[in-house]
């Protein structure tokens, strides 16, 4: 069996919701041993968020939680109790990495700030993922996916002219922050493993947006370097057109396709449409003509209406035009390329049985991505961790349970 890249890395996971858990999922799926710490009773709030298996709002049936917490062991621990804090320090003493995603005042308020944990374990990498960072005037502000996208991300130019700015679908900003946090965590792990020095890593979701996400970094720099304000655009049909060729999303027989054009691609479109006569058509001799673009649209729309999105994908592939169908999640599950690469995986879970999950974000030839266990039930590994790892007796475990500590 191939060893996993992060085998032997011990992670203490105090994260909840999406961003932090996606960071620790990446670590766990590539081999790290992640212990997820949840509050007794309710656990991670993601357990209360849908979609739920068969629409049953049960804490062990949240698709969001199940997806985000694969390969993690789960324990419950009340961090507000003195014993809970003591246990957390014991766990931190043995961990390589601690990731948390509370509001910045929470860990210091619990007496579990980096300065304290550093004394317990000088090699500890502590990663804090928060909405605005551990410092600054917005430090304690509340945020949500739409707030992060509005302030950090490029919501201002998402959508169309004359309408309100539009949020990206789902919770992609949180996932992106989690991915960036995983990069930051690995960087700090390097320093800890090579130089024996732990440290505190401060990940601000807002900064992960301004510094990267979608086109934000480029648009911000375009303002700085050239004074450009990038705003919402008219839809393609009314767009200020600069080429004959289409750009954007267009309707076809059974849905929509997205297509992109570069000035040198006009011959490719002629080939794709199977209309060689366009080459010498006097209307289409200047590819930078917006008027010609409008003329071309008449031909383009009726041609598209005769083809399905999958047929169009194959045609454009052959002609080397960057184009793709606008897929639904259902289309993705049925997509031949993903099937051929065995992307989706089935995961067996005690409350849901076998369910299909998204698979490996990348394939490594020597160190695999794999599902070793499904997301933990709330407190599923209490006995294993408290008795097996920390050496508590069965009786002590009962006392901890009775005391509401776990």
Q: Which of 110, 315, 360, 371 binds other proteins (CB under 8 A)?
A: 360
C-alpha of 53 from chain center: 21
Residue 370 beta carbon to other proteins: minimum distance, rounded to whole angstroms: 13
Please state, in angstroms and rounded to a whole number, the distance separating the CA atoms of residues 111 and 86. Answer: 11
Residue 159 beta carbon to other proteins: minimum distance, rounded to whole angstroms: 7
# residues contacting other proteins (CB under 8 A) = 160
Q: Which is nearer to other proteins, 217 or 397 (CB)?
A: 217
Q: Which of 41, 80, 109, 190 binds other proteins (CB under 8 A)?
A: 190
User: Nearest CA to 316 among 262, 260, 276, 277?
Assistant: 260
C-alpha separations of 358 from 101, 220, 228 in Å: 24, 33, 39
Q: Is 22 in the site for other proteins (CB under 8 A)?
A: yes
Residue 2, SS3 per DSSP: coil
C-alpha separations of 287 from 38, 243, 265, 315, 321 in Å: 60, 5, 10, 22, 16
Q: Which is nearer to other proteins, 171 or 382 (CB)?
A: 171
Touching other proteins, residues 373-402 (CB under 8 A): none
Residue 221 beta carbon to other proteins: minimum distance, rounded to whole angstroms: 5
Please state, in angstroms and rounded to a whole number, the distance separating the CA atoms of residues 38 and 73. Answer: 11
Touching other proteins, residues 143-182 (CB under 8 A): 143-147, 149-152, 154-160, 163-172, 175-176, 179-182
Q: Which of 89, 90, 113, 256 binds other proteins (CB under 8 A)?
A: 256
Q: Which is nearer to other proteins, 88 or 213 (CB)?
A: 213
Q: Which is nearer to other proteins, 221 or 275 (CB)?
A: 221
> Is the Cβ–Cβ distance between 207 and 243 less than 8 Å?
no
Residue 100, beta-bridge partner list: 14, 128
Name 234's Cβ contacts closer than 8 Å, sequence gap at least 6: 160, 161, 162, 240
> Is the Cβ–Cβ distance between 175 and 22 less than 8 Å?
yes
Touching other proteins, residues 45-74 (CB under 8 A): 49-55, 63-64, 66-68
Applying CB under 8 A, the span of 72-80, 136-144, 370-378, 383-391 interacting with other proteins comes to: 136-144
153-170 as b/e: b if 16+ CB within 10 A = bbbbbbeeeeeebebbee
Q: Which is nearer to other proteins, 348 or 396 (CB)?
A: 348
Q: Is 135 in the site for other proteins (CB under 8 A)?
A: yes
Touching other proteins, residues 69-108 (CB under 8 A): none
Residue 22 beta carbon to other proteins: minimum distance, rounded to whole angstroms: 7
Of the CA atoms within 13 Å of residue 331, those in its CB half-sphere come to: 10
The packing angle between helices 19-29 and 172-195, to 10°, is: 50
Q: Which is nearer to other proteins, 200 or 307 (CB)?
A: 200
Q: Is 284 in the site for other proteins (CB under 8 A)?
A: no
Per-residue x/- marks for other proteins, 211-250, CB under 8 A? xxxxxxxxxxxxxxxx-xxxxxx-xxx--x-xx---xxxx
Q: Is 332 in the site for other proteins (CB under 8 A)?
A: yes
Q: Which is nearer to other proteins, 182 or 278 (CB)?
A: 182
Q: Is 262 in the site for other proteins (CB under 8 A)?
A: yes
Please state, in angstroms and rounded to a whole number, the distance separating the CA atoms of residues 236 and 296. Answer: 13
Q: Is 303 in the site for other proteins (CB under 8 A)?
A: no
Backbone phi and psi for residue 96, each to the nearest 5 degrees, phi listed first: -90, -35
Q: Which of 15, 19, 20, 30 binds other proteins (CB under 8 A)?
A: 30
Residue 73 beta carbon to other proteins: minimum distance, rounded to whole angstroms: 20
Q: Which of 93, 197, 279, 388 binds other proteins (CB under 8 A)?
A: 197
Q: Which of 93, 275, 305, 317 binds other proteins (CB under 8 A)?
A: 317
The packing angle between helices 290-305 and 266-273, to 10°, is: 30
């Amino acid at each position: 069996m191939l060893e996993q890249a992060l085998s032997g890395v011990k992670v203490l996971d105090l994260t909840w919701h999406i961003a932090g858990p996606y960071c620790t999922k990446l670590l766990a799926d590539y081999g790290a041993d992640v212990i997820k710490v949840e509050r007794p009773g309710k656990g991670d709030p993601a357990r209360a968020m849908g979609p739920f298996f068969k629409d049953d709002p049960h804490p062990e049936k949240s698709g969001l939680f199940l997806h985000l917490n694969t390969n993690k062991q789960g324990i419950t621990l009340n961090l507000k109790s003195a014993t809970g804090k003591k246990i957390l320090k014991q766990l931190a003493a043995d961990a390589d990495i601690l990731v948390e995603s509370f509001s910045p005042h929470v860990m210091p308020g619990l007496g579990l700030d980096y300065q304290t944990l550093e004394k317990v374990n000088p090699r500890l990498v502590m990663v804090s993922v928060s909405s605005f960072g551990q410092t600054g005037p917005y430090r304690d502000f509340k945020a949500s996916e739409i707030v992060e996208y509005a302030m950090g991300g490029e919501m201002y130019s998402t959508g169309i002219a004359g309408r309100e700015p539009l949020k990206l679908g789902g919770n992609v900003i949180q996932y992106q922050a989690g991915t960036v946090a995983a990069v930051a965590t690995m960087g700090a792990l390097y320093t800890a493993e090579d130089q024996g020095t732990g440290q505190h890593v401060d990940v601000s979701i807002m900064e992960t947006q301004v510094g990267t996400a979608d086109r934000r970094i480029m648009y911000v720099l375009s303002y700085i370097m050239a004074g450009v304000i990038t705003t919402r655009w008219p839809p393609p049909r009314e767009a200020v057109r600069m080429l004959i060729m289409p750009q954007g999303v267009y309707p076809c027989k059974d849905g929509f396709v997205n297509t992109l054009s570069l000035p040198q691609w006009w011959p490719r479109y002629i080939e794709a449409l199977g209309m060689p006569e366009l080459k010498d058509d006097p209307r289409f001799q200047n590819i930078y003509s917006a008027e010609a673009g409008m003329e071309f649209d008449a031909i383009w729309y009726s041609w598209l209406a005769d083809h399905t999105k999958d047929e169009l994908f194959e045609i454009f592939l052959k002609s080397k035009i960057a184009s793709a169908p606008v897929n639904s999640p259902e289309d993705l599950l049925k997509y031949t390329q993903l099937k051929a690469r065995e992307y989706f995986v089935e995961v067996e879970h005690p409350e849901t049985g076998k369910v299909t999950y998204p698979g490996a974000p990348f394939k490594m030839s020597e160190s695999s991505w794999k599902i070793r266990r499904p997301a933990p039930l709330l407190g599923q590994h209490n006995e294993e961790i408290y008795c097996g790892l920390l050496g508590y007796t069965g009786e002590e475990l009962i006392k901890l349970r009775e005391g509401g500590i776990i």
